[in-house]
Chains A and B, each alone.
Chain A
Amino acid sequence: MIKPRYKPLIPYVVAAGALIFVAIFAPFLTPYDPYLQDLEGALTPPNSQNLLGTDRYGRDVLSRVIMGSQVTICAALALLAVITLTGSLIGSICGLKGGRVDTILMRTSDVFLAFPQMVFAIAAAGALGGGLFNAALALALIGWTKYARISRALTLTIRKMPYMDAAKMAGTNSLGVLIHHVLPNIAGPVLVTAALDLGTIIMELAGLSFLGLGAMPPTPEWGAMMNNGRSMLQTASWVVLAPGAAIFITVAIFNLLGDKLRDVLDR
């Protein structure tokens, strides 16, 4: 039985779950091969065969949007997992150890925080040479700092808790304290931050792809699809609007989920 206070979350969890389901099983859900070119059927407006029309290579836009969900959402989730884990680990180590380790790691994170996130990511992705992996790496390079800051602050507040002293008196080593006592206790707020961040990361990944620094052709990534169709906004708007709407809906769902999650957990 679901606790009443979690009830407001249900519609958002269902919607987000549906998106993730589509993303994972995308290859089985597409009506056509998203990579199959048919130049003779290029730029066909939406019709009963191609519900969202075809792009300039004659590929089915609906199939590409569905396939794109896998690329965009899975890449964003993987990236989020990486930065959340590394960020929290670094932050909690700093919080626990203090001293020189803390100073070095936190000043390093200050250096990264000194740059606007997107500007840094564009520069890094440009230097790394494009590609979805490099774009994600560029975002990861700067993304961990936020989680390090949050988990450090949280660790500092729980460091003085009686159960921490108890754990130390019972002879638990530093690693044990970190894994069994610190991380589980800071997980809630970190997860809420992560849920709120997912939408932003999807936007940033799509943004880098839009600028030509992310997914490489013919990968059906939403940002890249929008960029490829940009010049056709007036002549074949469906090519741009379909992936644009996909980004809009996905980001809105994950942001709303994050908002509700925070409301519920902060109560």
Chain B
Amino acid sequence: MTKKILAALLAAGLLLTGCGGEKTSSDDKSTFTYGTVAYGVAMENAGTNPHESYSGWSAIRYGIGETLFKFNENMQLETWIAESFEQVDDFTLKIKIKDNVTFSNGKKVDGDAVKKCLEHLIAVHDRAPKDLKITSITADGQFVTIKSAEKVPALLNYLSDPYGCIIDVDAGITDGIAIGTGPYKAVKVTDTQIDLVKNENYWDAVKPKLEKITVKSITDGDTLTMAMQNGELDAVQGLPYSSLQLFNDANKFKLSQAETSRVYQAAFNFKTPVLQDLNVRRAISMAIDKENFTQVLLSGNGTPAVGPFPANLNFGDTKVTAAPYDIDAAKNLLAEAGWTDTNGDGYVDKDGKNLELNYLTYTSRQELPLLAESAQASLKKIGVKLNINATDNYKTFLKNGDYDIFSKAIVTAPTGDAEYYFTSHIVSGAVDNAGFYDSAEITALENELHNTFGADKRSDIAIKMSQQVLDDCALFYAAHLKMSLVMKANVTGFNAHPSDYYEITSAVEKK
């Protein structure tokens, strides 16, 4: 027993030593250490080869590579490696490459290099061929011409997805290192760390300022917090919300935030008989206290959501409406649907059965269990009993259909276009349509969207589709995530971007 007490005391001692100590990393202004929760095997983005799974995100995020086009703060397209483009016809796109772009190995980027890269991409990548639907690519000097098998109105957006990062295919990929055109080049890549050095051949006017950058994957929020506190890191992404207040001292730290299109949503399972009643779905949607969820539980690091897309997008939250938070109205709707508390147990019932629903979610996104518990408490107010199953084994339950509500986090517009979200989550039979929502209006609108060119026209259709989903109360949307980067006060040029994939750029500097 004394041994156990001794062990406990020693463990406590260790914990305290872990918290203490003001150890600062080198104050060398040319090196930069960045801690992130978003890199690693679990995120499917280990390595820097954009033609493999989600590793393109790492290539773009850490300044190794660039795409033909990029998104601005409003998620609108701008040129990057490309200088201009011309939509020749519905199936043909002609792109001109900037004349002065070079890979980090000094080789010039011309039409032929881009052609080789894209051909390799569609030959080996899992998602790209389905998005791009390319039949042929031809190169001529600084021009590339892309022909698609069918109309792909969002082709430019898809080319700006991180998988479209232009790399030197001829140079090959050795030890996970891809040769891109970015301000930094990788020298060592492992599943937990990327070491970068300045790209001396960087083409753009703004040259990289740092000699060496180390990107470290630290997936435990507490470890990340402490590493930032004791000065081991210069900047950090993915801190737990409750830790952000530790970095309020403006003399020591800075915060950069951006609203992203990551949404916390919950889909109603239309195979559950009680949920086939619109009034029940609407009542549940109206009982979710989004304001308090974002303000208190996310500590203000999010905005209450109306629909699937954030307000900074043209087809975002300001253009759609959803039933407001109103407990009394929700109770009335349930009563209209025949659900009242006849036996006084606090839960509404019909034909002798309580309204009890299984709520499935997972824990690897820290916000989801918080949403689950707050939804459970809110729904209790209208007499609906929610049984939460928060497990990272959720795919088994999904497969077995063992849920009435499924809540997840999803980036709805990774390429600034809405179609991806609808085809993957909303249209009937879509792979991630967990609620088996089936609407003729949605199907018709999706057909229209699929054949419509022009950002404005596409936005109009996307708004109609989002509104249809909200009118049908097929899902409820709780919040859009604000991503936060915390950095030391002397770091400049390091800003959060709504796309979630532009982090290290040539502007990053330590003053």
Q: Is B377 a contact partner of A129 (Cβ separation < 8 A)?
A: no
**How many angstroms from the CA of A230 to the CA of B397 in the assembled complex?**
27
**Interface 0/1 of B388-414, CB less than 8 Å to A:** 111111001100000000000000000
A115 proximity list for chain B (CB < 8 A): none
Q: Is A217 a contact partner of B222 (Cβ separation < 8 A)?
A: no
Q: Is B373 a contact partner of A217 (Cβ separation < 8 A)?
A: yes
Which residues of B in the span 170-186 have a Cβ within 8 Å of any Cβ on A?
none
Q: Which 10 A-B pairs have the closest CB atoms?
A: A231-B240, A37-B377, A39-B292, A130-B391, A39-B296, A232-B242, A217-B373, A231-B242, A129-B393, A42-B296
Q: Is A216 a contact partner of B388 (Cβ separation < 8 A)?
A: yes
Chain B nearest Cβ from A121, distance in angstroms: 15
Q: Is B243 a contact partner of A231 (Cβ separation < 8 A)?
A: yes
**Interface 0/1 of B1-32, CB less than 8 Å to A:** 10010001000000000010000000000000
**Interface 0/1 of B373-391, CB less than 8 Å to A:** 1101100100000011111
A236 within 8 Å of B by Cβ?
A: yes
B369 within 8 Å of A by Cβ?
A: yes
Q: List 25 A-B contacts (CB under 8 A).
A: A35-B380, A37-B373, A39-B295, A39-B297, A42-B297, A57-B374, A126-B393, A127-B393, A129-B391, A130-B389, A131-B389, A212-B390, A216-B388, A218-B373, A218-B376, A218-B388, A231-B225, A231-B242, A231-B366, A234-B225, A234-B243, A235-B242, A235-B243, A255-B1, A255-B4
Q: Is B373 a contact partner of A212 (Cβ separation < 8 A)?
A: no
Q: Is B374 a contact partner of A37 (Cβ separation < 8 A)?
A: yes
A25 proximity list for chain B (CB < 8 A): none
**How many angstroms from the CA of A129 to the CA of B490 in the assembled complex?**
46
**How many angstroms from the CA of A248 to the CA of B380 in the assembled complex?**
33
Chain A contact-residue range equals 20 to 34
A256 within 8 Å of B by Cβ?
A: yes
Q: CB within 8 A of A56: which of B243, B296, B363, B397?
A: B296
B392 proximity list for chain A (CB < 8 A): 212
Which residues of A in the span 69-105 have a Cβ within 8 Å of any Cβ on B?
none
Q: Is B374 a contact partner of A259 (Cβ separation < 8 A)?
A: no
Given A39-B296, A56-B296, A234-B19, 15 other A-B residues pairs in contact with their CB atoms under 8 A: A35-B377, A36-B377, A37-B377, A39-B297, A56-B297, A129-B391, A129-B393, A129-B397, A212-B363, A216-B389, A217-B388, A231-B241, A231-B243, A255-B4, A256-B1
Q: Is A39 a contact partner of B397 (Cβ separation < 8 A)?
A: no
B289 within 8 Å of A by Cβ?
A: yes
**How many angstroms from the CA of A218 to the CA of B380 in the assembled complex?**
12
**How many angstroms from the CA of A129 to the CA of B396 in the assembled complex?**
9
A218-B373, A259-B1 as given contacts; A56 in contact with B389, CB under 8 Å = no
**Interface 0/1 of B243-265, CB less than 8 Å to A:** 10110000000000000000000
**How many angstroms from the CA of A36 to the CA of B241 in the assembled complex?**
22
**Interface 0/1 of A236-267, CB less than 8 Å to B:** 10000000000010000001100100000000
* Chain B contacts to A: CB under 8 angstroms: 1, 4, 8, 19, 221-222, 225, 240-243, 245-246, 289, 292, 295-297, 363, 366, 369-370, 372-374, 376-377, 380, 387-393, 396-397
A15 within 8 Å of B by Cβ?
A: no
Closest A-chain residue to B380, C-beta based? A35
**How many angstroms from the CA of A206 to the CA of B120 in the assembled complex?**
50
A57-B373, A57-B377, A248-B8 as given contacts; A233 in contact with B391, CB under 8 Å = no
Chain B nearest Cβ from A215, distance in angstroms: 11
Q: Is B373 a contact partner of A130 (Cβ separation < 8 A)?
A: no
**How many angstroms from the CA of A241 to the CA of B358 in the assembled complex?**
31
Q: Is B245 a contact partner of A235 (Cβ separation < 8 A)?
A: yes
Q: Is B393 a contact partner of A130 (Cβ separation < 8 A)?
A: yes
Q: Is B390 a contact partner of A216 (Cβ separation < 8 A)?
A: yes
A217 proximity list for chain B (CB < 8 A): 369, 372-373, 376, 388, 390
**How many angstroms from the CA of A248 to the CA of B376 in the assembled complex?**
30
A56 proximity list for chain B (CB < 8 A): 242, 296-297, 370
Closest B-chain residue to A131, C-beta based? B389
A39-B292, A129-B393, A212-B392 as given contacts; A236 in contact with B242, CB under 8 Å = yes
Chain B nearest Cβ from A68, distance in angstroms: 15
B396 proximity list for chain A (CB < 8 A): 129
B370 proximity list for chain A (CB < 8 A): 56
**How many angstroms from the CA of A58 to the CA of B370 in the assembled complex?**
13
Chain B nearest Cβ from A178, distance in angstroms: 35
